[in-house]
Amino acid sequence: MVDRLSLPRPASTQRSWSWRSRAFRGVVYQVLAVGVIALIVWFLTSNTLTNLRVRGIQSGFDFFSQPAGFGIGETVIAFDSSNPYWRAFLVGLTNTMRVAIIGIALATVLGTAIGIGRLSRNFLVRGVCTAYVELFRNIPVLLQLLMWYLLLNELLPPVFDAVNPVAGLYLSKGGLDFPVPVWGAGYQFMLAGAIIGVALAWLYRRWAHAQFVQTGRARATFWPALAVILVCAVAGWLAGGAPTALNMPRKTDFNVVGGGSVTPEFMALTWGLAIYTAAFIAEIVRSGIQAVPWGQIEAASSLGLSRKRQLQLVLLPQAMRVIIPPMTNQYLNLTKNSSLAVAIGYPDLVSISNTTLNQTGRAVEAITVIMAVYLTLSLSTAALMNWYNAKMAIKER
């Protein structure tokens, strides 16, 4: 019979509030660290406000409600000089987000294609992709932005002599003018149909994946999902009366009026950031694919899979766990590099903050807004990519 006294006693689940407890000491150290950080922040803030008050410099965010008194050349939302400063900052935020979202999409598509092209068996394709990476990766991004901006301003004709390559499109030093739909109930139905189509496409992809797990038979997902979205969008457009009204741009003796437009500054900034970031993404994609063990490729070849199916079913799913973390850094870099827009005159958040600072003298407040916005954008992007990284991680059984 085993002596009960010789058996190890179970660890007590009750927290010990003795200094000998490692957990208790850890809590105390963390509380002290937070207290010291809070004290430093309070001291810096109090000292800054005191120095500003002694020098007669106004401080605070009360200026947000005052009229801005300046115009903004390119806006996503309506704005004029009588609007308050907070709306000017909102315009700058939307301009920054527009560049970041479009730039990330372009850089991802272009960088992925070039990264795969670097592994091509075709010498010409591989050489062109390698030359692209080595060229654009080693030139500072600011010089590239200035280059694209100067090229657009040198090569494009004046506004009164705008080029009309396709009906409804005008290209000039004033930017690119294009038709936009006249928003109405029909397009609302079309948008609702597209949203329903996205939901149905997602359900189809889940069903196709489940069928692949059960039967081992891979089903096409991209084209059927795209067809579902298009069919639902067209059905919504038909249900809304099939509207076809467009706000078409038209050329006058002096400029182009009507329709939608984007400025050369926006095109140079977005295209320049996308091309620069795509060079780094290409290397990330290439290294991620090459990180997959060669035995996986041999196993896929022995099953008779084509190179396209190997890439789709074997290489990319396993490479994603290597690709996503460094690609997240490139997305963050592109978003933060958009602050270089001030060099070419694009009215992003930094540019509008500089104008506000010069008019109000609220340097601390303007810089605080810039820091808070970029911190929020970066943390949001990182959180989204971390969620996607966890979703794409290989699940071990």
Give the closest residue to 224 by CA, choosing from 196, 205, 199: 205
Alpha-carbon distance of 281 to 270, in angstroms, equals: 16
Given a cut of 50, whether residue 227 has pLDDT beyond it is yes
Taking only the tens place, the pLDDT of each residue in 138-166 is 999 999 999 999 998 888 888 888 888 88
Most distant CA pair in the chain, distance: 107
Taking only the tens place, the pLDDT of each residue in 298-335 is 787 777 777 777 877 788 888 888 899 999 999 999 99
Which pLDDT score is estimated for 349? 92
What does the buried/exposed string (b/e) look like for 219-249 if buried means 16 or more CB atoms within 10 Å of the residue's CB? eebeeebeebbeebbebbbeebeebeeeeeb
Q: Which residue has the tokens 């139905």?
A: 189
With beta carbons less than 8 A apart as the criterion, state whether 234 and 193 touch. yes
In sequence order, the 6+-apart residues with CB closer than 8 A to the CB of 23 are 15, 16
Give the closest residue to 272 by CA, choosing from 173, 346, 174: 346
Alpha-carbon distance of 378 to 333, in angstroms, equals: 9
With beta carbons less than 8 A apart as the criterion, state whether 379 and 307 touch. no
Run of H or E residues at 175: strand 175-178
Lowest mean pLDDT among 119-128, 286-295, 302-311, 354-363: 302-311
Residue type at 204 in one-letter notation:
Y
Which pLDDT score is estimated for 57? 67
With beta carbons less than 8 A apart as the criterion, state whether 334 and 273 touch. yes
Alpha-carbon distance of 118 to 286, in angstroms, equals: 7
Which pLDDT score is estimated for 9? 54
For the chain, the distance separating the N- and C-terminal CA atoms, rounded to the nearest angstrom, is 41
Alpha-carbon distance of 26 to 13, in angstroms, equals: 17
The pTM for the full model equals: 0.80
CB atoms under 10 Å from CB of 44, counted, come to 10
Q: Which residue has the tokens 């929020």?
A: 376
Please give the DSSP secondary-structure letter assigned to residue 18.
S
313 to 32, 188, 220: CA distances (angstroms): 51, 37, 11
Lowest mean pLDDT among 34-48, 215-229, 265-279, 334-348: 215-229
In sequence order, the 6+-apart residues with CB closer than 8 A to the CB of 31 are none
Q: Which residue has the tokens 């009360």?
A: 62
Identify the bridge partners of residue 247 per DSSP, sorted by sequence position.
180
Taking only the tens place, the pLDDT of each residue in 55-113 is 766 667 788 888 888 888 888 888 888 899 999 999 999 999 999 999 999 999 999 99
Which of 14-18, 81-85, 111-115, 252-256 is predicted most confidently? 111-115
Q: What are phi and psi of 261, to 5 degrees?
A: -155, 155
- Put residue 242 in one of left, alpha, beta given phi > 0 → left and psi -120 to 50 → alpha: left
Q: Quickly state the pLDDT bin for 378 (edges 50, 70, 90).
A: very high
Alpha-carbon distance of 248 to 250, in angstroms, equals: 6
In sequence order, the 6+-apart residues with CB closer than 8 A to the CB of 1 are none
